[in-house]
Amino acid sequence: MTKSNLPRLELHIPEPPSRPDTPITFDHVNRGEAGAVRRPDIAEHESNMRDLPYELIRVLDDDNLAVGPWNPMLAPETLIKGLRAMVLSRAFDDRLFRAHRQGKTSFYMKSTGEEAISAAQSLALDKGDMFFPTYRALAWLHARNYPLTTLCNQIFSNAEDPLAGKQLPILMSARAYDFYSISGNLGVRFVHAVGWAMASAYKNDTKISLAYVGDGTTAEGDFHEAMTFAAAYRAPTILCVTNNQYAISSFAGFAAPERLPFAAKALAYGFPGIKVDGNDFLAVWGATQWAAERARTNNGPTLIEFYTYRAEGHSTSDDPGRYRPKHEAEHWPLGDPVERLRDHLIAIGAWDMDRHAAMEGETKEQVKVAAKEAEAIGTLGQSKPPIEEMFEDVFAEKDWRLKEQLRELKARRAARAETQGGAGA
């Protein structure tokens, strides 16, 4: 028993600011001021940048104009390209999410609200720089015009699935698009990005790497291992925390108690961390450019926290109304990334609502055509890659076990096709 003159200990359990039955509050969000944060020289020593994680880097101000030192000064055509990738990503998400409800795929996850991050980075980085994504980053592929029908084929796990039925829908791999293979486990690839960057440095190459984890995943050991390695070997990598406020139902306060910025975690490892408005296409681009220049000039890694909001559920298996207020997304203090870039383009006279509506209609149609093409090949269970694929790529060469098992499976199929006209085992 505790001695009576000592205070009794209390177990602390973090709790979010809002629940479905309480008022929506974002009082803890400090929007800062667009253009107000300094942009240090890329060769600046990390000890002179320790204030940065506590500021929010923004470029787009409340009048939709681009201001401050992080403005990447992009041509309107480039901005329109980025906008298109985001609008396309949203149209794609909308249709494929509904496809799940219609039984055409086993699983889907939307990126709604987070499109600016991977769209801007896809365009800002060079061909050959490798991206180690999470599952909410398909806008990277959309920005680089990955064929939509092929993407639908993967999501429908049909005969033309580019991953031959071996992986869950949207856990893509697209090496030709610098898009590393995603697994369903969290954080594991963060370290791969560091190793990849170390290899590039070892070979005196010029390529850098980029990796994402979510806010929740910063709790995994992999995150800390990646940070340690990146710092020790000064790896040419950009490590990003896409802080969308939620790990399924758990608010970000579990991984960052007392609202400490995730960007600040970099300080303890000895390299700079910056916190960036993830719903601001221009800020994402500007920050990425800065971190990329640092990496390319042997100034080492950067941790970027992209401050954003997961506007939809975690996946097709989730129901966010059970743990957060229903209309919370509409109140996110940093707005919607598509609308903000659209309004910026309008503000500089390079865009208008009619052209925007036309872009929405056109991307929607493009997705529809692609989905129909993929559906014609087949949806989940109606069409599959050849059965041999199931046994391929376990090893570089099949061993006796796999050869025997394939033979057994084929013999059973043949026998059953003869007697009952059906497969299945």
Partner 1 sequence: MTETKKMNMIQALNSALDVMMTQDEDVLVFGEDVGYFGGVFRVTEGLQAKHGLKRCFDAPLTEGGIIGSAIGMAAYGLKPVPEIQFADYILPAYDQLVSEAARLRYRSNGEFSSPVTVRTPYGGGIFGGQTHSQSPEAIFAHVTGLKTVIPSNPYDAKGLLIASIECDDPVIFLEPKRLYNGPFYGRPDEELKTWANSGLATAEVPVGHYEVPLGRAALVREGSEVTVLAYGTMVHVAAAGIAESGVDAELIDLRSIVPLDIDAITASVRKTGRCVILHEASRFGGFGGELSALVQERCFDYLRAPIERVAGYDMPYPHAFEWDYFPGPIRLAEALLNAVEYR
Closer to partner 1 by Cβ: residue 10 or 77: 10
CB of 245 to partner 1, least distance (A): 14
Q: Measure the CA–CA gap between 417 and 414, rounded to whole angstroms.
A: 5
CB of 236 to partner 1, least distance (A): 27
Convert the chain into a string of H (helix), E (strand) and C (coil).
CCCCCCCCCCCCCCCCCCCCCCCCCCCCCCCCCCCCCCCCCCCCCHHHCCCHHHCEECCECCCCCECCCCCCCCCHHHHHHHHHHHHHHHHHHHHHHHHHHCCCCCCCCCCCCCHHHHHHHHHHCCCCCEEECCCCCCHHHHHCCCCHHHHHHHHHCCCCCCCCCCCCCCCCCEHHHCECCCCCCCCHHHHHHHHHHHHHHHCCCCCCEEEEEECHHHHCHHHHHHHHHHHHCCCCEEEEEEECCEECCEEHHHCCHHHCCHHHHHHHHCCCEEEEECCCHHHHHHHHHHHHHHHHCCCCCEEEEEECCCCCCCCCCCCHHHCCCCCHHHHCCCCCHHHHHHHHHHHCCCCCHHHHHHHHHHHHHHHHHHHHHHHHHCCCCCCCCCHHHHHCCCCCCCCHHHHHHHHHHHHHHHHHHHHCCCCCC
Give the distance, in angstroms, between the CA of residue 212 and the centroid of all CA atoms in the same chain: 6
The answer to whether the Cα torsion of 319, 324, 326, 331 is positive or negative is: negative
CB of 217 to partner 1, least distance (A): 6
Q: What is the binding site for partner 1 (CB under 8 A)?
A: 11, 13-15, 19, 106-107, 157, 161, 164-168, 171, 183-187, 216-217, 219-222, 247-250, 254-255, 317-318, 322-323, 380, 384-385, 387, 389-391, 394, 401-402, 405, 409, 412, 416, 423-425
What does R_g of the chain's alpha carbons equal in angstroms? 23
Closer to partner 1 by Cβ: residue 206 or 317: 317
Closer to partner 1 by Cβ: residue 248 or 347: 248
CB of 403 to partner 1, least distance (A): 11
CB of 150 to partner 1, least distance (A): 15
Closer to partner 1 by Cβ: residue 49 or 240: 240
What token pair was written down for 253? 């306060």
Closer to partner 1 by Cβ: residue 15 or 126: 15
Closer to partner 1 by Cβ: residue 178 or 222: 222
Closer to partner 1 by Cβ: residue 36 or 409: 409
Closer to partner 1 by Cβ: residue 269 or 281: 269
Closer to partner 1 by Cβ: residue 421 or 424: 424
Closer to partner 1 by Cβ: residue 170 or 197: 170
Closer to partner 1 by Cβ: residue 25 or 183: 183
Helix axes 76-101, 353-377, angle to 10 degrees: 40
CB of 389 to partner 1, least distance (A): 8
CB of 290 to partner 1, least distance (A): 29
CB of 244 to partner 1, least distance (A): 13
CB of 6 to partner 1, least distance (A): 17
CB of 312 to partner 1, least distance (A): 16
CB of 393 to partner 1, least distance (A): 9
| CA distances (Å), origin 349, targets 34, 65, 343, 356 | 20, 11, 10, 13
Question: In degrees, to the nearest 5, what angle opens at C-alpha 321 toward C-alphas 156 and 217?
Answer: 65
